[in-house]
Amino acid sequence: MSQETIFTKIINREIPADIIYEDELTLAFKDINPQAPLHCLIIPKQPIATINDITEDKRELVGHLYVVAAKIAKQQGVADDGYRVVMNCNEHGGQSVYHIHLHMLAGKPLGWPPYTDKAKV
């Protein structure tokens, strides 16, 4: 699977995005199709296609995504009310962009479970 996705273009500033956080390792920007009042994506600058490609050597980088999530939550004023971070994997997980990303959803009480199909397992 190609490592080059639309997120690489956002990292390289080849296409625009509403960037709300950046550091040496990560970038965070607003989701183009928001599912909550605050919906942003936190991505590593290093492309990793799916959760299945996270190996031991990526441990710090992936952990850092959560450190960034906590920073953004404070920066955006949603830390105390709460929020959800989720990473989808492959087709059944609902992944559409094959460059791992944490979705951060906040700004209203979020439903659970997070799918609309009421069929039980």
Residues marked as catalytic = 101
CB of 71 to ligand AMP, least distance (A): 19
Residue 11 within binding range of ligand AMP, rule CB under 6 A:
no
Q: What is the DSSP letter of 54?
A: -
Whole-number Å distance between alpha carbons of 121 and 117: 10
Q: Which of 31, 62, 71, 110 binds ligand AMP (CB under 6 A)?
A: 31
Token look-up 């441990």 returns: 59
Comparing CB distances to ligand AMP, the nearer of 36 and 78 is 36
Whole-number Å distance between alpha carbons of 65 and 83: 15
* Contact flags string 88-107 toward ligand AMP, x per CB under 6 A: x-----xxxx----------
Q: What is the DSSP letter of 111?
A: P
Q: Are the C-beta atoms of 8 and 47 separated by less than 8 Å? A: yes
The alpha carbon of 91 is separated from its chain's Cα centroid by a whole number of angstroms, namely 16
The count of chain residues that interact with ligand AMP, using the rule CB under 6 A, is 12
Q: Are the C-beta atoms of 72 and 21 separated by less than 8 Å? A: yes
Choices 28-36, 50-58, 62-70, 112-120; region in contact with ligand AMP by CB under 6 A: 28-36
Residues found near ligand AMP in the complex (CB under 6 A): 6, 17, 29, 31-33, 41, 88, 94-97
